[in-house]
């Protein structure tokens, strides 16, 4: 019944490990620094790199693997496949390359009786859960717009390679939206909007290519879907530069350089800008009916940590639908409430 946390000494890995331990679940820390792992006093496995981690998973067969090592587009499939047959897998991917790539393993996961969950975190779950609630028991809508409005406290320290790579990958993908059922290019930072939130505060969002798009499309079946994020730049000057920046960092050498430089950037600690993080969805049906809903959560990173721990705990109990899914698709929209969210519909 062991739950392995890969990258357990990293930012999210530490929080997820603490939550799982608080739930009384048997956690094993997996990382590449023996002394630092030993110092935690917890059970651990030393594995330096993706292939070594996959080999240990195949040898020791944990019930659930939580992958926090990042670079998901390149490495998640290797780790997830190592869980087959019967083992379950969770990651925190949120970009439009990694999320579909993991979902493409659906048939393999089904055949192996495993559940693979990608997109376990604030953005994907907080938006797909609202879409699922709004669409429950209704016909397929024609249009969906979702906004992921995270309120995140900044930890002091370096950005780190995993997070830096995720940010650079958003730039290289460029904007995307579903139009007539097809994934089509859109402008990065499109349709900037200021929202008045249910608690009276305000937040801005603009278009980004992110995993929320695929999750909202699958949860609704709608042919037209757009996704906006509070993390997207909304200033006109920065938005104007984004397409060019995206093309430049698409060059592999420049990408590696950009990731290295960004990873070294240090941030000062700062409190979350607003009391709550919000997932938001507006769903429109062919007859013109529109429904709007929200999911209120606390600090964005805390919610992400709670989501991953809740998903892992449920998978360990064998509650996941076999196949490759996003969190609400594997376990139902109520997993967002179990992780501390509240629907405002």
Least gap, CB of 137 to ligand NAP (angstroms): 29
**Rule CB under 6 A: is residue 123 a binding residue for ligand NAP?**
yes
Nearer to ligand NAP, 162 or 197 (CB): 162
231 burial class (0-12, 13-18, 19+ CB within 10 angstroms)? middle
Q: Pattern 173-212, binding to ligand NAP, x per CB under 6 A?
A: ----------------------------------------
Least gap, CB of 92 to ligand NAP (angstroms): 4
**Rule CB under 6 A: is residue 255 a binding residue for ligand NAP?**
no
H or E segment and range at residue 205: strand 202-207
Least gap, CB of 297 to ligand NAP (angstroms): 11
CA–centroid distance for 102 within its chain: 12
**Strand stretches in the chain, DSSP E:** 3-6, 27-31, 44-46, 64-67, 88-91, 115-117, 143-149, 157-158, 175-179, 182-186, 193-196, 202-207, 224-229, 266-267, 277-284, 290-297, 323-325, 342-344
Q: Which of 62, 70, 174, 189 binds ligand NAP (CB under 6 A)?
A: 70
CA distance 52 to 58: 10
CA within 13 Å, CB half, 90: 33
**Rule CB under 6 A: is residue 166 a binding residue for ligand NAP?**
yes
Residue 54: DSSP 8-state: H
CA distance 312 to 242: 36
Least gap, CB of 163 to ligand NAP (angstroms): 5
Two structure tokens written together for 297? 């959560």
Least gap, CB of 18 to ligand NAP (angstroms): 13
**Rule CB under 6 A: is residue 168 a binding residue for ligand NAP?**
no
Residue numbers 144-163 binding ligand NAP by CB under 6 A: 160-163
Q: Which of 18, 38, 43, 49 binds ligand NAP (CB under 6 A)?
A: 49
Nearer to ligand NAP, 224 or 258 (CB): 258
CA distance 251 to 279: 33
Q: Pattern 293-332, binding to ligand NAP, x per CB under 6 A?
A: -----------x----------------------------
CA distance 29 to 8: 5
Closest-approach residue to ligand NAP (CB): 10
**Rule CB under 6 A: is residue 69 a binding residue for ligand NAP?**
yes
**Rule CB under 6 A: is residue 12 a binding residue for ligand NAP?**
yes
CA distance 259 to 168: 7
CA distance 148 to 228: 6
Binding site for ligand NAP (CB under 6 A): 7, 9-13, 31-33, 49-50, 68-70, 92, 94, 121-123, 160-163, 166, 304
């Amino acid at each position: 019944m062991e739950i392995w946390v890969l990258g357990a000494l990293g930012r999210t890995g530490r929080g997820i490990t603490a939550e799982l331990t608080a739930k009384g679940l048997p956690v094993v820390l997996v990382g590449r620094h023996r002394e630092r792992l030993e110092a935690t006093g917890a059970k651990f496995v030393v594995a330096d790199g993706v292939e070594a981690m996959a080999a240990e998973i195949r040898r020791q067969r944990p019930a659930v693997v939580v992958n926090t090592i990042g670079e998901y587009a390149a490495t998640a499939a290797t780790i997830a496949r190592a869980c087959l047959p019967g083992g379950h897998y969770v990651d925190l991917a949120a970009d439009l390359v990694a999320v579909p790539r993991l979902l493409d393993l659906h048939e393999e996961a089904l055949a192996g009786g495993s559940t693979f969950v990608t997109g376990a975190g604030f953005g994907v779950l907080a938006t797909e859960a609202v879409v699922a609630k709004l669409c429950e028991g209704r016909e397929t809508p024609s249009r969906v717009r979702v906004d992921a409005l995270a309120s995140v406290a900044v930890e002091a320290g370096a950005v780190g390679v995993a997070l830096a790579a995720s940010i650079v990958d958003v730039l290289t993908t460029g904007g995307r939206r579903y139009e007539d059922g097809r994934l089509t290019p859109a402008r990065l930072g499109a349709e900037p909007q200021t929202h008045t939130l249910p608690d009276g505060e305000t937040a801005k969002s603009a278009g980004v290519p992110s995993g929320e798009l695929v999750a909202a499309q699958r949860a609704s079946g709608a042919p037209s879907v757009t996704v906006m994020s509070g993390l997207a730049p909304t200033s006109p000057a920065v938005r104007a530069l984004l397409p060019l920046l995206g093309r430049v960092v698409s060059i592999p050498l420049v990408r590696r350089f950009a990731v290295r430089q960004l990873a070294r950037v240090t941030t000062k600690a700062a409190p979350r800008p607003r009391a709550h993080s919000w997932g938001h969805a507006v769903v429109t049906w062919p007859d013109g009916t529109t429904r709007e809903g929200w999911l209120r959560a606390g600090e964005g990173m805390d919610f992400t940590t709670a989501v991953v721990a809740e998903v892992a705990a449920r998978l360990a109990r064998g509650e996941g639908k076999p196949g490759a899914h996003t969190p609400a698709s594997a376990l139902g929209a109520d997993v967002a409430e179990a992780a501390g969210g509240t629907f405002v519909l």
